[in-house]
A and B are shown apart, each in its own frame.
Chain A
Amino acid sequence: MSIRGFFEKHSHHFHGQGRLAPLKPLYEAVENFMLSPLSRTKSAPHVRDPLDVKRYMSMVIIGLLPAALAGWYFFGLRVLAMIAVSYAIGGAIEVAFAVVRKEEINEGFLVTGLLFPMILPPTLPLWMVALGVAFGVLVGKELFGGTGRNLFNPALIGRCFLAIAYPTAMASYLDPVKAWPGRLFQWAGSALSDATTNPTPLSQAKRVIAGGGELTPISDLLWGSVSGSVGETSAILLIVGGVFLLLTRVGNYRTTVSMLGAFAILESILHLADPGRFVGPLWHLLAGGMLLGAFFMATDPVTGPVTGGGKWVYGALIGVSAALIRNLTGYVEGVMFAILLGNIFAPVIDEVFIRRRLAALARQDVIAPERGQPPGQQGNVWFEGKANEEAAQQ
């Protein structure tokens, strides 16, 4: 039996009076995931661009995969367990809400579920992963009304919660294993048992500035043999995945370019002003969560502006904030807070750019908007005059 046949055979259980009708959202989600859409356009335009939300989400996951696999290689099998827990718990909450609200399950969760473990330390206890993703999905998304309505990036809300609730565990990082086969077949202990607090490149940089040790070399940042969150290892793989997103137009280049650009400019200025206190811009671009944030988090459409101009401003705001937090505050990493700050400003930025559009339209408007009638149908003033004139001549 074909897959479609299987779905057609069992579909009646989930619809109308079927005995599994409450689980309709779950059924539809699985059907949607397995099969290409069966719905058709209803009116013009009768054809559609094949890039739909489902492909959007698949593209993001494909783009994240290289970095996720690198995380597995450097930090071991726990990474896979963290991803599994994140999907299981977050998915359960998503399904529960969809069933209660009688809405369809949105593919958006597939991204959050993978993105969340990427921004956690690889030693975090699994129950904290579960708690964090539950908080992120519940408070960060469902309470706002679900997919498309959340103000903040759910993964970042979850991480922010964990960082405040469990600061020690959230600062316990693991040294990567460089030599083949890395930790591909190894389970590294959790933070609570091993109590490892290896410095990340960014916390190391603060020590260097204070007068001790050496800066992590750029080559290590590129290849990824550095301590840090699961997904922040290899800059090369992040760039490969990120550029893939930009080329497929799934990630909006405006946000990414302006965020990285503004960040690099401000870092350059700081570095030129005082090279002893501030490390160079290239190093900062490659270290920590900057690339992950610029390619995969700030480009989250739901929590960013919809206007093109707004995206430039939004990215620049995040880039500048990240540089300021990293260099001028007690925090070693600023990307998370910067993006959350950007999320707050996104609606305001949008409003400014939408007003600009409306003002431009109004400037060119020859029909008062309150009359709001289409040309031709209302009888253009001139046509009526002309008609009267002709009538008078006859």
Chain B
Amino acid sequence: MSSSTVSAIPGKGTFRRGVHPPEGKQYAANCPIEILPPPAQVVLPLLQHTGAPCQPTVKMKEKVALGQQIANADAFVSAPIHASISGVVQKDSVTTLPNARHVKTLPIVAEGEQLSGQALWDDLYGGDWSLKDLESRDPKAIVSAVREAGIVGQGGAAFPTHVKLVRNPAKPIDVILVNGCECEPYLTADYRLMLEAPQPILAGALLAAHAAGARQIYIAIEDNKPQAIEKLSQAAEGTGVQVAVLHTKYPMGGEKQTILALLGRTVPTGGLPLDVGVVVMNVATAAAVARAVLRGKPLTHRVVTVSGAGIARPANLLTPIGVSYRELIDHCGGFRSRTARAVAGGPMMGQALGDLDAPVTKGTSGITVLTEEDVRAAQETACVRCGRCVDVCPLNLVPTKLALASRAEDWDLCRKYHLMACMECGCCAYVCPAGIPLAQLIRTGKAKLPR
């Protein structure tokens, strides 16, 4: 890759500590995005984001068209939900998402003609993405378009995007950081999107910067994705968007790590990127922002990676939100023998799927199907105080103490050791030679910690 197209960055390009798990990207990295045929039914959870749940805005048996709003909430930190296929609304129901949340759902059974194949691709990511009248756009209009489109962070946390873009005089934003690190092993959805749809990503980044009043725009990509770096650097020429190459390391895609590596700024413990003047958004989120603002289309589809040694035919699927995990797995030829479990997300932070009929949500980045060999672990034994967890914690916590305090439910000690600062990246449990489930213990502690 030529150095002229890749920007110099203020940060060191890496952060201290972290781990290097096997990348597993080889399964699906070279599978072009495939368009899932329209499903017979989708089930749309009314809470797919961090924030307030939505209430239905349509009635049972009502006919809805693709992209029509079906649920909304008045709360500021929330995002409306839209029909991802054309069809008829069914009686509301309840499902359990992989993150163990019980949520209300609205099923929609397909009826009438569906947008599919190349036409769907063109509607979502194809065609022209020119940005001629960017300066004349009202930042507030961009924010409200983003909110109307129901856009939430597609990297995993699913935080409503419009909240991050609202201008706040107390905390001005100077950098928009579009995150294409995708440090989670196996997942390649963002990678494929960067290769196949660089234009909407750039357009979204520019729109977001205009909305938030940021002057600098970076797209962060790990150096194990040279093709994506090349593609985006070429596409970004002359737009003012800079492509920044970061070291490949887990969890580089964690926003605090990306900001530190790229900008050299440390986000406060328990703070947010906006505390250091940065808005971070995933590449898929940026593309959705462009689509919402320039085409007035809501977030109804996303790219989901189905990967791992346990799946017959790994793929990156463009799927409607609300389709069941089972349908994606069946589309990819089902499980191989010796499959141990399917995980929503990647192997480091993903949640094991208990129910394959659960629906894909806006934050679902992939399904990783792991084999018996993959999930093998040492039997839990006593801590030998080797200090490897302390060595790898990217947030400089002391995981061994946190896990011990969480297990003993000693909440004072938990607070003293900054339990809530943990982002659950899982590095500590990954390296623990004694097989202690540190991340799980800490997660449980965080959930139980008295407020």
CA distance A108 to B271 in the complex (A): 42
B416 to A46, Cβ gap below 8 A? no
B268 to A372, Cβ gap below 8 A? no
Question: Given A40-B340, A302-B384, A304-B385: A45 and B50 within 8 A (CB)?
Answer: no
B386 to A301, Cβ gap below 8 A? yes
Partner of B374, one of A46, A149, A364: A46
Partner of B22, one of A47, A361, A362: A47
Which of B398-450 touch A at CB < 8 Å? 398, 400-401, 414-421, 424, 426-427, 429-435, 437, 439-440, 443, 446, 449
Main secondary structure, interface of A, reads loop
Question: Would you call B351 an interface residue if the criterion is a C-beta within 8 Å of the partner chain's C-beta atoms?
Answer: yes
CA distance A225 to B439 in the complex (A): 50
Question: Given A53-B378, A308-B391, A382-B171: A354 and B269 within 8 A (CB)?
Answer: no
Partner of B384, one of A148, A379, A387: A148
Residues on A lying within 8 angstroms of B by beta carbon are 32, 36-49, 51-56, 104, 106, 108, 146-149, 252, 301-302, 304-308, 311, 354, 357-358, 360-362, 364-367, 369-370, 372-377, 379-380, 382-383, 386-387, 390
- Which 9 residue pairs spanning A and B have beta carbons closest together? A52-B378, A45-B426, A148-B382, A387-B76, A306-B387, A367-B270, A301-B386, A365-B269, A366-B268
How many A-B pairs have beta carbons closer than 8 Å: the answer is: 218
B352 contact set on A, CB distance < 8 A: 43-44, 46
B385 to A301, Cβ gap below 8 A? yes
CA distance A54 to B380 in the complex (A): 11
B77 contact set on A, CB distance < 8 A: 376, 379, 383, 387
A51 to B433, Cβ gap below 8 A? yes
CA distance A44 to B370 in the complex (A): 12
Distance of B355 from chain A, by nearest CB (Å): 16
> What per-residue 1/0 map shows which CB atoms of B135-164 lie under 8 Å from chain A?
000000000000000000000010100010
Partner of B446, one of A39, A358, A374, A376: A374
Distance of B305 from chain A, by nearest CB (Å): 15
CA distance A32 to B157 in the complex (A): 39
A-B contact pairs, 28 of them (CB 8 A): A37-B379, A39-B377, A40-B375, A43-B439, A44-B440, A45-B430, A46-B341, A46-B343, A46-B348, A47-B348, A47-B430, A49-B433, A53-B434, A104-B379, A106-B382, A148-B434, A301-B385, A301-B386, A304-B387, A306-B385, A307-B398, A357-B397, A365-B270, A372-B420, A375-B270, A386-B166, A386-B168, A390-B76
A302 contact set on B, CB distance < 8 A: 384-385
Distance of A26 from chain B, by nearest CB (Å): 15
CA distance A76 to B62 in the complex (A): 91
B268 contact set on A, CB distance < 8 A: 364-366
B163 to A383, Cβ gap below 8 A? yes
Main secondary structure, interface of B, reads loop
Other than the given A44-B348, A49-B431, 12 more pairs (CB < 8 A) read A44-B352, A46-B350, A46-B370, A106-B382, A147-B382, A302-B385, A360-B396, A366-B275, A369-B418, A374-B446, A382-B171, A387-B76
CA distance A268 to B32 in the complex (A): 64
Distance of A391 from chain B, by nearest CB (Å): 8
A55 contact set on B, CB distance < 8 A: 433
Partner of B266, one of A304, A364, A373, A390: A364
Partner of A306, one of B22, B166, B390: B390
A45 to B269, Cβ gap below 8 A? no
Question: Would you call B349 an interface residue if the criterion is a C-beta within 8 Å of the partner chain's C-beta atoms?
Answer: yes
B439 contact set on A, CB distance < 8 A: 43-45
Distance of A22 from chain B, by nearest CB (Å): 20
Partner of A56, one of B166, B433, B446: B433
B370 and chain A: residue at smallest CB distance? A46
A386 to B348, Cβ gap below 8 A? no
Question: Would you call B101 an interface residue if the criterion is a C-beta within 8 Å of the partner chain's C-beta atoms?
Answer: no
> What per-residue 1/0 map shows which CB atoms of B359-380 lie under 8 Å from chain A?
0000000001010101111111
CA distance A382 to B273 in the complex (A): 13
Distance of B58 from chain A, by nearest CB (Å): 23
B375 to A46, Cβ gap below 8 A? yes
A39 to B418, Cβ gap below 8 A? no
Distance of A79 from chain B, by nearest CB (Å): 28
Question: Would you call B21 an interface residue if the criterion is a C-beta within 8 Å of the partner chain's C-beta atoms?
Answer: yes
> What per-residue 1/0 map shows which CB atoms of B13-56 lie under 8 Å from chain A?
00000010110000000000000000000000000001000000
CA distance A146 to B415 in the complex (A): 29
B446 contact set on A, CB distance < 8 A: 374
CA distance A53 to B386 in the complex (A): 10
Question: Given A47-B430, A365-B269: A106 and B76 within 8 A (CB)?
Answer: no
A145 and chain B: residue at smallest CB distance? B382
A361 to B397, Cβ gap below 8 A? yes
A366 contact set on B, CB distance < 8 A: 268-271, 275
A53 and chain B: residue at smallest CB distance? B433
Distance of B107 from chain A, by nearest CB (Å): 28
B168 and chain A: residue at smallest CB distance? A382
CA distance A54 to B272 in the complex (A): 41
B387 to A148, Cβ gap below 8 A? no
B435 to A48, Cβ gap below 8 A? yes
Partner of B383, one of A40, A148, A304: A148
Distance of B129 from chain A, by nearest CB (Å): 30
A301 contact set on B, CB distance < 8 A: 384-387
Partner of A375, one of B271, B375, B424: B271
CA distance A373 to B159 in the complex (A): 16
CA distance A67 to B411 in the complex (A): 48
A39 to B374, Cβ gap below 8 A? no
Question: Would you call B170 an interface residue if the criterion is a C-beta within 8 Å of the partner chain's C-beta atoms?
Answer: yes
B381 contact set on A, CB distance < 8 A: 53, 104, 106, 147-148
Question: Given A104-B381, A307-B387, A372-B419: A364 and B271 within 8 A (CB)?
Answer: yes
CA distance A43 to B353 in the complex (A): 10
Question: Given A354-B398, A357-B396, A387-B75: A47 and B378 within 8 A (CB)?
Answer: no
> What per-residue 1/0 map shows which CB atoms of B336-354 lie under 8 Å from chain A?
0000110100011111100
A373 to B400, Cβ gap below 8 A? no
Question: Would you call B451 an interface residue if the criterion is a C-beta within 8 Å of the partner chain's C-beta atoms?
Answer: yes
B275 contact set on A, CB distance < 8 A: 366
B434 to A52, Cβ gap below 8 A? yes
B340 and chain A: residue at smallest CB distance? A40
Distance of A257 from chain B, by nearest CB (Å): 15
B440 to A43, Cβ gap below 8 A? yes
A304 contact set on B, CB distance < 8 A: 385, 387
B171 and chain A: residue at smallest CB distance? A382
Question: Would you call B185 an interface residue if the criterion is a C-beta within 8 Å of the partner chain's C-beta atoms?
Answer: yes
B401 to A354, Cβ gap below 8 A? yes
B387 to A370, Cβ gap below 8 A? no
CA distance A52 to B383 in the complex (A): 11
CA distance A252 to B431 in the complex (A): 14
Give the residue among A146, A364, A366 with the most B Cβ atoms within 10 A.
Answer: A364
Distance of B135 from chain A, by nearest CB (Å): 25
A369 and chain B: residue at smallest CB distance? B415
CA distance A222 to B424 in the complex (A): 49
A43 to B437, Cβ gap below 8 A? yes
